């Protein structure tokens, strides 16, 4: 076994580790923001397709229609936001992307606020609009790319 065989094998092991520790992202969007979420997901398809995606019910259905594998939870008003908050608290979600509609009233606003508080308590990145979500994904990509073998 030569040096190149060792390097290639080492690279393979590192790639396997990365695959085994896939990033878990939750995607949530209020009704008026679902088209924006679908657009965002499609723009970042290459990155997001490598992640484990968890989404509230209706948002997840929209994302599934674009060809993504989605772990769908309850819809937001029926407890989906609370389910994602629990997953954040358990360390099962790495990033929360929640396109909120701040100009509309939502009956489940206490759940939304709880999710945001839990993300802060557990130091989980939270984006509430496409621009902040973009910067979070770009930051994660930069870290991952720096760790990839040349």
Look-up of token digits 């930069």: 142
User: Do 96 and 26 touch, CB atoms closer than 8 A?
Assistant: yes
C-alpha torsion sign, points 87, 45, 50, 57: positive
Tell me the CA end-to-end span of the chain in Å, nearest whole number. 21
> Token pair of 142, please?
């930069």
Is 81 marked active-site?
yes
How many residues are listed for the chain in this entry? 150
Catalytic residue among 5, 31, 81, 94: 81
**Spatial CA neighbour of 80 closest among 49, 62, 54, 45:** 54
Which residues are designated catalytic? Answer: 81
């Amino acid at each position: 076994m030569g040096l190149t065989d060792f390097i290639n094998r080492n690279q393979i092991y590192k790639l396997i580790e990365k695959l085994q520790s896939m990033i878990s992202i939750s995607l949530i969007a209020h009704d008026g923001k679902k088209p924006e979420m679908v657009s965002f997901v499609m723009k970042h398809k290459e990155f997001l397709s490598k992640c484990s995606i968890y989404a509230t019910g209706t948002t997840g259905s929209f994302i599934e229609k674009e060809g993504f594998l989605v772990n769908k939870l309850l819809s937001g008003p029926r407890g989906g936001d609370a389910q994602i908050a629990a997953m954040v608290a358990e360390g099962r979600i790495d990033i929360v992307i929640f396109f909120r509609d701040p100009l509309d009233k939502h009956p489940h606003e206490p759940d939304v606020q709880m999710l945001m508080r839990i993300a802060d308590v557990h130091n989980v990145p939270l984006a509430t609009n496409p621009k902040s979500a973009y910067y979070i994904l770009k930051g994660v990509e930069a870290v991952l790319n720096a760790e990839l073998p040349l």
